[in-house]
Amino acid sequence: MSTTSVSGDAELIAGLPAGFRWGVATSAYQIEGAVAVDGRTPSIWDTYCRVPGAIDNGDTGDIACDHYHRMPADVALIKDLGLDTYRFSVAWPRVQPRGKGPVNPAGIAFYDRLVDELLVHGIDPWVTLYHWDLPQELEDTGGWPVRDTAYRFADYSMLVFDALSDRVDTWTTLNEPWCSAMLGYAYGAHAPGRREYPAALAAVHHLLLGHGLATVRMREAAPRKVDIGITLNVATAYPASSSEPDVEAARHADGMGRRIYLDPLVHGHYPADVVADLAAEGVELPVEDGDLELISAPIDVLGVNYYFSQKFTGYAEDGRTVDDAGQPISRTIPLDKPRTAMDWEIVPEGFTDLLVSIARDYPGLPMVITENGSAFEDHADASGFVADTDRTAYFTSHLAAVAEAIRQGADIRGYLAWSLMDNFEWAYGYAKRFGIIRVDYETQARTPKQSALYLKDLAQRHRGQ
C-alpha cells in the first residue's frame, strides 16, 4: 500500500518516541455548515464568501461537510482509523453570537456533545479556539488591527474554557496568526479581504496579545493541569545563493514568517532586525507596556503546521536589489521540486530543517505537528475509494522528516494529519481536497482513502512496537 518499502516504514516508526500522538485535524468553518443554526451569527468568512470572485466557483461554507449534523458518525470514522487525537476548532460566532455577551447555550452544547463523543471513543479532544472565523460585528468595529479585539478574544476563550476544561486537556489559542494577519489584512486573499499593510502588522501584535491574555486567564482558571499553546504555520526560508542580497532576502522572510511570532512568544521581544525592517517601511508595531510579558506567558506546547518551504532571492528579474520605493527585494523562486495541486512544492527536508531550527532557537518548547498534508487531484472509483498514492507518499516523506528531526534532537510529541476529510479550502472552495477521507459533496458520503488506511496502519504498528 505504501510507496516506500516496508523496511522504510519500519525505520520511520522506530524513529518516533513512545507515546507519540497520532491524529487528525479540522476547523469549524471548513466542515460544520449549519451557519445560521442554533443562534450562530455570521463570521468574516460568511461575509467574505459573498464577495463576488473571492472564492473559487462562488463556494461557501454554508453546508460544507454538514458535520454539525453528522458529528457522531464523523467521530466514529476517527475511531475506526485508530487515531488517538482529534484537533478541531470552536466557532466563535456559534458560542458567542456577535462576539459579545454571555455564552450561547445551544452553540456550546454542540462542542459539549463533541467532546463527550470523543471521550467515549477514547479519542483525546484538542481544542483550537480561533481558526479564522471572527464574528462579523468585531470586524465591523475594526477587526484584529484594533486592540480591543484581543480583549474580546480572551473573553470568548474563557466562555469555552469554562464549559470544556473539565474534559479537554489541550488548548490552542490561535491557528496560524500569519494567515489571519497577512492573508486577511495585507494581501486581501482571505477574509476580511483588506489590503492595508500597516493594519496587518497591527493585527499581528493584537493576535499575539489576544493569545497572551487568553493564556494567562485560562492558566489562572484551570481546574487541573492543562496544556496551552499556539499553532503557527512556519517554513524554512532558504537563500537562493550565498550572495548578500539573497541571504538578506531569506533573513527577511524568516523574520516575517517565523521569528516575528516565536521571538515575542518565547523570548519576550520582537526581533530587532524585523523591527528595523518595518521601521524602514514606516511601520511600527503598536506595543504597549506589559504586552510582551503577556505574550511571553509560558506555553506547554507549540503547534507546528507545515506544508512547504521556499527559496528566496534578493534580486528582481532585471537584477535590481531594491524596488521603486527603495525597499530591498525579497521574492520566492522555485526550488524545482514536484508540486501538489495547490502548486506548493514538496520539500520534506525543509520540514526537518524547520523543526531542528525551532529546537535550536527556542529550546525547551515541546512541539506537536498540528497540521501537515497535501491536496492532489483525487480520482474516486465507483465505490468512492481513492487510491491516493501521491498523498500517501507525502505522508511517508514528511513523517520520515519528523523522525529525522527527532533524531537530530527536536522534541516532537505527535503528528496530526490535515485533514480528517475533504472540506472547504478557504479561497479555493471545494476544488482542493486535503482529506484522508473522501467527501462526496452531493451525498455527503464519506469514504476513507488509501492514505487513511496507511496512517491507520502506521499508528497501529507504532503503538504495538
Q: Give me the least distance between CB of 233 and ligand FCB, in Å please.
A: 5
Nearer to ligand FCB (CB atom), residue 156 or residue 426: 426
460 is in an annotated binding site: no
Q: Is 179 a binder of ligand FCB (CB under 6 A)?
A: yes
Q: Is 175 annotated as a binding residue?
A: yes
**307 assigned ligand-binding residue:** yes
Q: Is the Cβ of residue 87 or residue 251 nearer to ligand FCB in the bound state?
A: 87
Q: Give one word for 376, left, alpha or beta, with left for phi > 0 and alpha for psi -120 to 50.
A: beta
* 187 labeled part of a ligand binding site: no
Residue 428 CB, nearest distance to ligand FCB (Å)? 9
| Half-sphere exposure for 380 (CA within 13 Å, toward CB) | 18
235 and 225 in contact (C-beta within 8 Å)?
Answer: no
Output 406 or 417, the one with its CB closest to ligand FCB: 417
Shortest distance, CB of residue 120 to ligand FCB, whole angstroms?
Answer: 27
Residue range at the interface with ligand FCB (CB under 6 A); choices 37-45, 55-63, 116-124, 175-183: 175-183
Binding footprint of ligand FCB, residue count (CB under 6 A):
12
Choose the binding region for ligand FCB from 68-76, 270-278, 296-304, 418-426 (rule: CB under 6 A).
Answer: 418-426
Stretch that binds ligand FCB, among 69-77, 100-108, 171-179, 246-254 (CB under 6 A): 171-179
131 labelled binding-site residue: yes
Smallest distance, Å, CB 100 to ligand FCB? 26
Q: 211 or 462: whose CB is closer to ligand FCB?
A: 211
Nearer to ligand FCB (CB atom), residue 94 or residue 251: 94
| CB of residue 427 to ligand FCB, shortest distance in Å | 10
Fill in the per-residue mask, 29 to 48: x = in contact with ligand FCB (CB under 6 A), - = not in contact: -x------------------
Can you say whether residue 458 is alpha, beta or left, with left for phi > 0 and alpha for psi between -120 and 50 degrees? alpha
Q: Catalytic annotation on 284?
A: no
Instruction: Report the C-alpha gap between 173 and 177 in whole angstroms.
Output: 10
Task: For residue 269, say whether it is annotated as part of any ligand binding site.
Answer: no
Shortest Cβ 371–ligand FCB spacing (Å): 6
Q: Which residues contact 461 (CB under 8 A, 6 or more apart)?
A: 9, 10, 13
Show the 3-state SS of the chain: CCCCCHHHHHHHHHCCCCCCEEEEECCHHHHCCCCCCCCCCCEHHHHHCCCCCCCHHHCCCCCCCCHHHHHHHHHHHHHHCCCCEEEEECCHHHHCHHHCCCCCHHHHHHHHHHHHHHHHCCCEEEEEEECCCCEHHHHHCCCCCCCHHHHHHHHHHHHHHHHHCCCCCEEEEEECHHHHHHHHHHCCCCCCCCCCHHHHHHHHHHHHHHHHHHHHHHHHHCCCCCEEEEEEECCCEEECCCCHHHHHHHHHHHHHHHHHHHHHHHHCCCCHHHHHHHHHCCCCCCCCCCHHHHHCCCCCEEEEEECCCEEEECCCCCCCCECCCCCECCEEECCCCCECCCCCECCHHHHHHHHHHHHHHCCCCCEEEEEECCCCCCCECCCCCECCHHHHHHHHHHHHHHHHHHHCCCCEEEEEEECCCCCCCHHHHHHCCCCCEEEECCCCEEEECHHHHHHHHHHHHHHHC
305 binds ligand FCB (CB under 6 A): yes
Nearest distance from residue 332's CB to ligand FCB, in Å? 17
Residues 9-28 that bind ligand FCB (CB under 6 A): 27
Under rule CB under 6 A, residue 173 binds ligand FCB: no
Site residues for ligand FCB, 317-376, by CB under 6 A, read 371
Binding string, residues 100-129; x marks residues near ligand FCB by CB under 6 A: ------------------------------
CB of 14 to ligand FCB, least distance (A): 29
The 10 Å Cβ neighbour count of residue 64 is 26
Question: Binding segment for ligand FCB among 158-166, 174-182, 187-195, 398-406 (CB under 6 A)?
Answer: 174-182
Cβ count within 10 A of residue 230: 29
C-alpha pair distances (Å), 17 with each of 82, 401, 414: 18, 14, 9
Residue 418 assigned to a binding site: yes
Q: Which of 175, 296, 352, 451 binds ligand FCB (CB under 6 A)?
A: 175
Mark whether 139 is an active-site residue: no
Q: Out of 176, 248, 345, 404, pick the active-site residue.
A: 176
Q: Which residues define the annotated binding site?
A: 30, 131, 175, 307, 418, 425-426
Q: Catalytic residue numbers?
A: 176, 371
Q: Which residues define the annotated binding site for substrate?
A: 30, 131, 175, 307, 418, 425-426
**Interface residue list for ligand FCB (CB under 6 A):** 27, 30, 175-176, 179, 233, 305, 371, 418, 425-426, 434
